Structure 1
Amino acid sequence: MIPVQQALEIILKQVPRLPVISVPIEKASGYVLAEEVYSDINMPPFNKSSMDGYALKAEDTQKTPAELQVVGFIPAGKYPDFKIQAGQAAKIMTGAPVPEGADSVQMVEKTEPIDDHRVQILESIETGKNISWQGEIIQEGQKVLSNGTFISPAVIGVLATVGKTNLAVIKKPSVSILVTGDELVPVNQKPGPGQIRNSNGFTLYHQLLELGITAEIQEIAADNLDDLTAKIQKGLESDVLLITGGVSMGDLDLVEDVFTKLGLKIYFNKVKIKPGKPTVFARHKNAVVFGLPGNPVSAATVFEVLVKPALY
């Protein structure tokens, strides 16, 4: 029996590195980056208002209420073609470019329009208030994502922001799921006396789906050497084979016997984890194999702790 950390080190050392492929951003979710990503722009790309209100010079608001001349209106997406002079302001929307000469934006709630060309500023404001400055989040040329990053929806947003449309990624592994046990029946079949439905296969399938990996669920393997051997051989055609059940100490726990028969190298067969102690890890050529406990909670736990880190 070995500690979890040692088991992880063995697994990560034995899992073969899959080839690098190129994918478009639309299909990149669930992959792992195989390159560094740098920004081609500043973010924000211009000084941007973070409030609806009035762009102005902060020094004009030191004595309030202050009456200022309104010289323009700036919606988001339009770059102003005028400058703010002393005693002037421009009505501005959230996300719009701040005009040259303005050094702060007073929120609309702290203003009172007098007419179409004049506004009263009710409270003073500090220089720089309510402005997101050019490049304060990301600077042009800055590394924004590292090699080995898992591509989640949030990462997709970063990639889109910096204009990265095609990505070098690590190919997703092919995964086969094999559940074993004479007591198991398909989920669409009502269990008879002494039987239970195959919940493990679908739990693992959806745990993999959360990682962007679509697995193949094999037919349930019976507790006999011939059927188990044939189905494990088929599963070894995948990059990763996940087996549940048949890895403990019972008379019908035959998985390790089949591994030996097929020439797999077994690296460990017990881990100091609860639940999940009877866990087997083996390798056959370029395929890695995890023998997980048959107990559903144990299988799901071992997947999260030992299998998941090996997949990305």
Structure 2
Amino acid sequence: MPLLPVDEALERILEGVKPLPAEMVRINEADGRILAEQIKAQRTQPPFNASAMDGFAVRAQDVASLPATLSLIGESVAGRRFDGSLGAGQAVRIFTGAPVPEGADTILIQENARTLPNGQVEAVQAVEKGRHIRRAGLDFNEGDALLDEGRLMGPPAIGLAAAAGHTRLPVTERPLVAILATGDELVLPGEPCGPDQIVASNGFAIGALAKAEGARILDLGIVRDDTAAITTAVKRAHHAGAQVLVTLGGASVGARDLVRQALLDAGLSMGFWKIAMRPGKPLMFGRLGEMRVLGLPGNPVSSLVCAHLFLRPLVARLGRRSFTPDLRSAVLSAPLKENDERRDYIRASVAAGPEGLIATPFPVQDSSMLTTLAAANALIVREPEAPAAEAGARCRVLMLG
């Protein structure tokens, strides 16, 4: 039976996936979240004509001809305006952010003025009408649409929402991704490691990748090669309301690979199993009710490459995030042999050259080697049955960051 192409596998995984509903969060919890509704201003900013500089609020016509001497009648500071109106030949000491007094139409900055005895101020430079005044509503007016639905909230957007009077924001729920590692050979970092055991690393890497796309993580820990224990962990994910369950290892065909059968026994509706890619051929996908299940390979590189290709876009769509793979054109710095029926994802280092990007594949591509994946900033994408390529040939690269 032919293996499922990568692009078709992704289509099946994303089929019918809709963004999660909205929830209200405090504004200080909205960083990195996606707006579920358009945000409008609840107030006007600034709410009054405000001075943009320290100086004196005056009438432009009073300082049009120099020298000009004005009577100082008070001051306006931020948070406490001048309570009165300014008339001909008068000035009000004013500070940045303070309301401009009634009757004033410009700001004489303090560098262009000299205070005199007997409560007077002299203008040493003329200033045109409206100078250094921030008009009410300069930034926005009440009712203005400020932030669109689907906006990724960062510091400027949060500041804008706060300035507009919002204390809580409607954002899309964060997807809950449950991660289950299986295998008698696995121990957690820092635990005693027997002579036949290895440290479990996949869950930490996959969790970090999912969180980067806005997910919450439910760590189901390490489950031994025991069908009942695997079934119990799967039920935990389901009861917790996880939208995605990621299993790590145990999905192949060996006698000790129990995850696939445990999921089938739990009622998994199998979408596919095994795809035409390298690394990552034994990828599994299915659904347990509304929970989507991704069975990733146990080899660390295979697991992470599959997660980049399939988990990231799935989590992004659930969380209403935009996601577009960063595919670019590059030139090979070394030859590559002809490919077989699977699409290859070759770890590589991509750097800028005099005529564009240059992709250098790592010489050893064993799917257990995290050192090369950690050193790689891209994957060279080789299509099935691609002929041998010489150094200097063009290729496609999937940038990893």
TM-score range, shorter chain: 0.7 to 0.9
> How has the CA–CA distance of structure 1 residues 242 and 132 changed in structure 2, closer, same or farther, with 3 Å as cutoff?
farther
- Counterpart selection for 2:294 from 283, 290, 294: 290
In the alignment, residue 45 of structure 1 is paired with which amino acid?
Answer: P
Greater length-normalized contact order (CA 8 Å, ≥ 6 residues apart) = 1
Tell me the amino acid that sits aligned with residue 308 of structure 1. Answer: A
The reply to whether residue 184 of structure 1 matches residue 189 of structure 2 is no
Q: Which amino acid aligns with 1:307?
A: V
Deviation at 1:151, TM superposition (A): 4.8
Give 2:48's aligned residue. Answer: 46
8 Å contact from structure 2 (residues 34, 319) kept in 1: no
Does structure 2 conserve the Cα–Cα contact (< 8 Å) formed by 1:247 and 1:280? no
Amino acid in structure 2 at the alignment position of 1:311: G
What is the rounded CA distance, in whole Å, between the counterparts of 1:300 and 1:124 in structure 2?
A: 66
Deviation of 1:104 (Å): 2.8
Q: Which residue of 2 aligns with 1:263?
A: 268
* Residue number among 145, 160, 163 corresponding to 1:161 in the alignment: 163
**Gap change, CA 1:300 and 1:102, over 3 Å in 2:** farther
Matched, 1:90 2:100: no
- RMSD, matched Cα: 4.0
- TM-score scaled by length of structure 1: 0.75
Q: Which moved more, 1:97-106 or 1:72-81?
A: 97-106
Give distance in 2, aligned partners of 1:163 and 1:116.
44
Distance 2:306 2:131 in 1: 53
Deviation at 1:217, TM superposition (A): 0.8
Report the number of matched residues: 309
Query: Does the 8 Å CA contact 1:269/1:281 hold for their aligned counterparts?
Result: no
Q: Is the 8 A contact 2:36 2:149 kept in 1?
A: yes
SS at 1:179 equivalent: strand
Letter of the structure 2 residue corresponding to residue 285 of structure 1? G
Give the counterpart letter for 1:47 in structure 2: N
Structure 1 Cα separation of the partners of residues 22 and 51 of structure 2: 41
Question: Greater Rg, structure 1 or structure 2?
Answer: 2
> Do 1:30 and 1:211's aligned partners in 2 also have CA atoms closer than 8 Å?
no
Task: Name 1:55's counterpart in structure 2.
Answer: 57
Alignment match of 2:134 (pick from 123, 132, 135) = 132
Query: Where is the strand percentage greater, Structure 1 or Structure 2?
Result: 2
Unaligned runs of 5+ in 1: none
Contact 1:179–1:244 (8 Å) recurs in 2:
yes
- Residue identity in the other structure for 2:288: H
Matches within 5 A, 1:1-312: 1-3=5-7, 7=10, 11=13, 13-23=15-25, 25=27, 32-62=34-64, 66-115=68-117, 117-152=119-154, 154-165=156-167, 167-193=169-195, 195-205=197-207, 214-222=216-224, 227-237=229-239, 238-243=241-246, 245-246=248-249, 251=254, 255-256=259-260, 258-261=262-265, 262-266=267-271, 270=275, 280-292=284-296, 294-295=300-301, 298=305, 301-302=308-309, 304-312=312-320
Question: TM-score, length-normalised on structure 2?
Answer: 0.61
| AA aligned opposite 1:310 | L
Q: Is the 8 A contact 1:54 1:92 kept in 2?
A: yes
CA gap 1:194/1:108 in 2 versus in 1, 3 angstroms: farther
Q: Cα gap change, 1:31/1:112 in structure 2, threshold over 3 Å: closer, same or farther?
A: same
The residue type equivalent to 1:288 in the other structure is: R
Which amino acid letter does the alignment assign opposite residue 188 of structure 1? G
Distance 2:280 2:140 in 1: 44
Instruction: Check conservation: 2:18, 2:317, Cα contact below 8 A.
Output: no
> Is the 1:69–1:88 contact (alpha carbons within 8 Å) kept by the matching residues of 2?
yes
Sequence identity percentage: 34
Check conservation: 2:175, 2:315, Cα contact below 8 A.
no
C-alpha distance after superposition, 1:100-128 (max 9, x if no partner): 23233244344433347233444444433
Q: Is the 8 A contact 2:19 2:318 kept in 1?
A: no
Q: Which runs of 5+ in 2 are unaligned?
A: 321-401
Q: Describe the shift of the 1:195–1:100 C-alpha distance in structure 2 as closer, same or farther (beyond 3 A).
A: farther
For residues 64 and 192 of structure 1, what CA distance do their matches in structure 2 show? 90
Deviation at 1:94, TM superposition (A): 1.7
Q: Deviations over 1:29-48 (max 9, x none)?
A: 66544433322321111111
Do the aligned partners of 2:46 and 2:136 also contact (CA within 8 Å) in 1?
yes
Paired residues of 1:259 and 1:265 also in contact (CA < 8 A): no
